Amino acid sequence: MSLFDELEQIRTAALQALDEAATREELEAWEKRTLGRKGAVTLQTRSIGKLPPEERPAFGQRINVIKQELEAIYTTRAQAMRHAELTRELAGGAVDVTLPGRPVTPGHLHLTTQTLRQLYDIFARMGFEVYESPDVELETYNFDLLNIPAYHPARDMWDTFWVDDQRLLRTHTSPGQIRAMRERAPEPLRVILPGKCYRYEQITARSEHQFYQIEGLAVGRNITMTDLIGTLRQFTSLFYGAERQTRVRSSYFPFTEPSIEVDIDCILCGGKGCPVCKYTGWLEICGAGMVHPVVLENGGYDPAAWSGFAFGLGVERPAMMKYHVKDIRYFYGNDLRFLRQF
Ligand code: FA5
């Protein structure tokens, strides 16, 4: 029997079976058997290759015509059956139109978004405006202009995903410092730069390869380290509560000089020592420092006349401390049991 005859036989058998399907279950089973991904008609397309090339178009067209014909009859029958069922239900009083509708569950903001908004609010009170800068960044902005030339070892800490040989997914929000300064120089500025950062990073309970940061930058005529420490103290007190203690340690970043790291006393043990603070009593909350003269200059400010401070905060990690989240992977795991708690 030719493949064309076989196709016609499949059509006749399918039409007959469709005619005999008496319930919705039977009708749906027919649809799956005939028109589904592995249905009899669908599978015929695989036979096309067995035909001589000149017969293939006609065969393909015939399959399509049969498919459309069967689908049309199937849809009409399925609708008629649904209609009959509804009419029957209504006649039997099975539908109580006075019952309340199914409630629509309202969604709510993600924990990261909630945290970001708290941070915007806190820094807005201190006069910082939000400045957005791009996720896909030029290598020069992410590194060179921040005083991290190609040979600098700090680049190893901030390995990332490259888009091409000049553009990358930013490893931190610090390149936004240059963009904000170049736009505003020579006026004083006070901005926070929120956004996603990306790193070629081993994923652990504390580290993701994609996470948020908020950068802070203030440039003015007489800005000092005291302004920086005061700003961060105000932040910790508004975000974590007035009872939190802060501690400042000296540190190193190529784009700040001098550089510091700021800790708060451990929220869980209150400074006594526990596994979360690794028995030190302190938790690190951010890196910061006075903007390096080279960076000020790259931003368009004369370092002899202007000074500034900058800090870089995570968003998920501070939220983990505040809300006692043990693993950063919960944030983007899309598990509603986690998300609904906040
Ligand atoms: C920086 O990224 C500096 N740009 C911060 C800075 C800005 C210093 C301005 C001085 C002046 P660091 O790599 O430590 O520094 O990251 C800052 C914060 O981002 C960390 O404290 C942490 O909260 C968060 N962070 C860093 N890597 C990850 C990660 N893999 N997953 C989640 N959060 C991270």
Among 37, 61, 91, identify where a domain stops. Answer: 91
Co-location of 190 and 315 in the same domain: yes
Could you tell me if residue 101 is inside a domain?
no
In the three-class reduction of DSSP (H, G, I as helix; E, B as strand; rest coil), residue 197 is classed as strand
The pLDDT of residue 271:
86
Could you tell me if residue 97 is inside a domain?
no
Indicate the top mutation candidate among 286, 295, 307 to test ligand 1's pocket, ranked by most ligand atoms within 8 A of CB.
Answer: 286
Co-location of 278 and 310 in the same domain: yes
Q: Is residue 26 within 8 Å of residue 82, measured between CB atoms?
A: no
Alpha helices (runs of H) in the chain, residue ranges in sequence order:
3-20, 24-35, 40-44, 56-91, 111-125, 139-142, 154-157, 175-184, 225-240, 293-298, 316-323, 336-339
Co-location of 312 and 207 in the same domain: yes
Alpha-carbon gap, residue 118 to 190, rounded angstroms: 18
Co-location of 65 and 137 in the same domain: no
Could you tell me if residue 171 is inside a domain?
yes
Q: How many residues does the chain have?
A: 342
pLDDT digits (tens, 9 = 90+) for 159-207: 889 999 999 999 999 999 999 999 999 999 999 999 999 999 899 888 9
Domain tally, the chain? 2
The pLDDT of residue 314:
95
Is residue 324 scored above 80 in pLDDT? yes
Alpha-carbon gap, residue 83 to 24, rounded angstroms: 11
Co-location of 161 and 302 in the same domain: yes
Among 29, 63, 91, identify where a domain stops. Answer: 91
Alpha helices (runs of H) in 143-291, residue ranges in sequence order:
154-157, 175-184, 225-240
The pLDDT of residue 306:
98
Is residue 339 scored above 90 in pLDDT? yes
Nearest CA to ligand 1 atom 7: 312
Cβ of 26 below 6 Å from ligand 1:
no
Co-location of 189 and 256 in the same domain: yes
Is residue 228 scored above 80 in pLDDT? yes
The pLDDT of residue 137:
97
Cβ of 115 below 6 Å from ligand 1:
no
pLDDT digits (tens, 9 = 90+) for 305-315: 999 999 999 99
Alpha-carbon gap, residue 285 to 281, rounded angstroms: 13
Could you tell me if residue 96 is inside a domain?
no
Could you tell me if residue 103 is inside a domain?
no
Alpha-carbon gap, residue 310 to 312, rounded angstroms: 7
Co-location of 73 and 199 in the same domain: no
Range of the domain at 56: 3-91
Handedness of CA 33, 38, 40, 45 (dihedral sign): positive
Q: Is residue 282 within 8 Å of residue 247, measured between CB atoms?
A: yes
Cβ of 211 below 6 Å from ligand 1:
yes
Give the highest mean pLDDT range of 52-56, 77-81, 94-98, 131-135.
Answer: 131-135
pLDDT digits (tens, 9 = 90+) for 254-283: 999 999 999 999 888 888 988 778 899 998
Co-location of 83 and 156 in the same domain: no
Co-location of 191 and 222 in the same domain: yes
The pLDDT of residue 99:
86
Proportion of the chain above pLDDT 90, given as a percent:
75
Å from CA of 206 to ligand 1 middle: 12
CB atoms within 10 A of CB 144: 16
The pLDDT of residue 302:
98
Cβ of 286 below 6 Å from ligand 1:
yes
Co-location of 294 and 334 in the same domain: yes
Nearest CA to ligand 1 atom 21: 286
The pLDDT of residue 295:
98
Nearest CA to ligand 1 atom 20: 314
Is residue 154 scored above 90 in pLDDT? no
In terms of Cα–Cα distance, which of 328, 324, 322 is closest to 204? 328
Cβ of 256 below 6 Å from ligand 1:
yes
The pLDDT of residue 98:
85
Query: Residue type at 341?
Result: Q
Higher pLDDT among residues 275 and 57, named by residue: 57
Among 91, 119, 151, identify where a domain stops. Answer: 91
Co-location of 123 and 209 in the same domain: yes
Average predicted confidence (pLDDT) for the chain: 93
Q: At what angle do helices 316-323 and 225-240 cross, to 10 degrees?
A: 50
Q: Is residue 137 within 8 Å of residue 171, measured between CB atoms?
A: no
Cβ of 309 below 6 Å from ligand 1:
no
Helix (H), strand (E) at residue 256: strand 256-265
Q: For residue 311, what is the domain's CATH number?
A: 3.30.930.10
- Listed in order, strand segments (DSSP E) in 87-233 are 129-130, 136-138, 167-169, 189-198, 210-220
Strands 189-198 and 167-169: unpaired
Cβ of 288 below 6 Å from ligand 1:
yes
Helix (H), strand (E) at residue 127: none
Query: Residue type at 160?
Result: T
Supply 304's token pair.
């002899």
Is residue 224 scored above 80 in pLDDT? yes
Could you tell me if residue 102 is inside a domain?
no
In terms of Cα–Cα distance, which of 213, 220, 202, 181 is closest to 288? 213
The pLDDT of residue 259:
98
Is residue 73 scored above 90 in pLDDT? yes
The pLDDT of residue 106:
86
Could you tell me if residue 193 is inside a domain?
yes
Find the mean pLDDT for residues 210-233.
97
Cβ of 172 below 6 Å from ligand 1:
yes
Co-location of 29 and 144 in the same domain: no
Measured torsion, CA atoms of residues 69, 72, 78, 83, in degrees rounded to the nearest 10: -140
Q: Is residue 253 within 8 Å of residue 259, measured between CB atoms?
A: yes
The pLDDT of residue 153:
87
Ligand 1 atom nearest to 318, measured from its CA: 23
Å from CA of 287 to ligand 1 middle: 7
Nearest CA to ligand 1 atom 27: 207
Could you tell me if residue 58 is inside a domain?
yes
